[in-house]
């Protein structure tokens, strides 16, 4: 997708208003392209303001999604589920803030940093509950100053629109452009595109991408040794059956010191998984795929990778417990399988280890499990 392929109807204010804004301190700054340079990793953020808009009911319950592009390359995707304006009871929810994460980096930078320079961004809505933004701001965050020294910096790159003036209506219902909204915007669009180099806002085409992530719960209160030293392979498939992403999660058993007088107590502690429903959010990136952009996801396959064992006890320690699996779409639950401390699944290359408490508390031991989103059903899958 490139900006060249989109309709380029520029969203412009009347000339008289532009002249008035030019004389005002609130006039939008020109894009400062020199600010793009930084000797170290940096990231970009966007804030969409609605709390000083000149229209009534500017907020929306729909999801706004910002996609950041470098030419035809998608740099990142960031959804914002619902936007409130003038939320006096919770000021942190005013407006919409986007600090997009990057989908990997060839230079080994952290996932939330990038040296890519976005050429344009697209902001879109997924519904017809109109949203009005009176101005949009772009900032650059960096951990270095212009001389390469460590210093936390935030620099505004550009601004489009101005507080209390004409702005931008986002809605999939063009009829939302009425009454005071018609006086403050040229149109209600499903998406707008900000061309950063040209310092302009244009009608855009929705990219229709959503952000998916997977979270795995491997804790069961009635099972011990639910962790595994085996690699776990997580694969995500699109609606058309194509492979969207795959990730091999190498599990490393900690060298836990004995916490009791017996060897069994030490082994139980060493192989105890700690990824539970209660701590999914701060740590789920290690166990799943974070921030995967896709048009649609059909299934998730979780399977055990190659693993060698040399005795019967090692087979027992190779089992991996899946208590429940959660998939979110734009941070909202899209599908869920299993339940907290319920009857889950066992991953292993040795199905004969489905015995005792594992047999009582799981539906079976398989090389892999295929979790289907449309039906929220599952079926055994081949080991990877």
For the stretch 10-27, pLDDT in tens is 454 332 222 222 222 222
Alpha helices in 271-340 (DSSP H): 280-287, 312-317
* Least confident piece of the model among 122-131, 185-194, 217-226, 339-348: 217-226
pLDDT tens for 287-329 read 666 678 889 999 999 999 888 888 887 788 788 889 999 998 9
**Helix/strand/coil (H, E, C) string of 263-274?**
HHHHHHHHCCCC
Quick one: pLDDT at residue 269? 62
Distances (CA, A) of 104 to 115, 124, 287: 12, 24, 16
What tokens appear for 261 in the block?
A: 């007088």
Quick one: pLDDT at residue 209? 92
Q: Are 63 and 125 a contacting pair, CB within 8 Å?
A: yes
pLDDT classification of 89: cutoffs 50, 70, 90? low
Quick one: pLDDT at residue 73? 84
Q: Flag whether pLDDT at 63 surpasses 90.
A: yes
Distinct helix (H) and strand (E) counts, the chain? 6, 24
DSSP letters for 166-208: --EEE-S-GGG--HHHHHH-S-EESEEEEETTTTEEEE-----
Higher pLDDT, 293 or 146: 293
| Stated pTM of the model | 0.77
Please state, as a whole number, how many other Cβ atoms lie within 10 Å of the Cβ of residue 177.
18
DSSP, res 105: -
Task: Map tokens 């303001």 to a residue.
Answer: 49
Quick one: pLDDT at residue 97? 75
- Is residue 124 helix, strand or coil? strand
Q: Are 66 and 123 a contacting pair, CB within 8 Å?
A: yes
Q: Flag whether pLDDT at 163 surpasses 90.
A: no
By C-alpha distance, which of 234, 218, 188 is closest to 283?
218
- Is residue 43 helix, strand or coil? strand
Mean pLDDT (the chain) is 76
Q: Flag whether pLDDT at 30 surpasses 90.
A: no
Quick one: pLDDT at residue 126? 94
Q: For 108, what's the count of Cα atoms within 13 Å in the CB-facing half-sphere?
A: 0
Overall average pLDDT of the 348-377 stretch? 91
Higher pLDDT, 349 or 256: 349
Quick one: pLDDT at residue 288? 61
């Amino acid at each position: 997708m490139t900006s060249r392929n989109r309709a380029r109807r520029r969203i412009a204010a009347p000339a008289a208003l532009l002249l008035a804004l030019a004389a005002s301190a609130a006039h939008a700054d020109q894009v400062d392209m020199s600010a793009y340079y930084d000797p170290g990793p940096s990231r970009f953020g966007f804030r969409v303001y609605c709390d000083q808009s000149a229209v009534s009911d500017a907020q929306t319950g729909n999801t706004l999604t910002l996609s950041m592009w470098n030419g035809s390359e998608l740099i990142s995707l960031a959804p914002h589920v619902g936007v409130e304006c003038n939320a006096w009871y919770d000021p942190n929810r005013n407006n919409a803030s986007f600090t997009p994460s990057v989908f990997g980096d060839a230079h080994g930078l952290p996932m939330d940093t990038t040296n890519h320079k976005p050429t344009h961004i697209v902001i879109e809505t997924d519904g017809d509950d109109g949203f009005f933004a009176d101005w949009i701001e772009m900032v650059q965050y960096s951990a270095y100053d212009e001389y390469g020294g460590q210093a936390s910096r935030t620099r505004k790159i550009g601004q489009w629109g101005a507080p209390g003036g004409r702005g931008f209506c986002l809605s999939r219902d063009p009829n939302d452009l009425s009454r005071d909204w018609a006086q403050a915007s040229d149109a209600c669009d499903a998406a707008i595109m900000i061309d950063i180099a040209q310092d302009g806002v244009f009608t855009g085409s929705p990219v229709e991408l959503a952000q998916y992530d997977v979270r795995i719960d491997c804790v069961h209160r009635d099972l011990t040794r639910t962790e595994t030293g085996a690699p776990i392979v997580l694969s995500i498939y699109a609606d058309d059956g194509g492979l969207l992403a795959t990730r091999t999660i190498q599990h490393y058993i900690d060298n836990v010191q004995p916490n009791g007088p017996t060897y069994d107590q030490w082994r139980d502690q060493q192989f105890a998984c700690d990824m539970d429903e209660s701590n999914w959010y701060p740590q789920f990136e290690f166990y799943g795929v974070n921030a995967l952009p896709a048009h649609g996801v059909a299934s998730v396959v979780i399977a055990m990778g190659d693993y060698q064992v040399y005795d019967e006890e090692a087979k027992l320690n190779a089992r991996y417990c899946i208590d429940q699996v959660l998939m979110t779409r734009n941070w909202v639950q899209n599908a869920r399988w299993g339940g907290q401390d319920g009857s889950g699944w066992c991953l292993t290359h040795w199905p004969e280890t489905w015995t005792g408490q594992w047999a009582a508390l799981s539906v079976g031991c398989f090389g892999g499990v295929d979790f289907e989103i449309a039906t929220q059903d599952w079926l055994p899958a081949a080991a990877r």
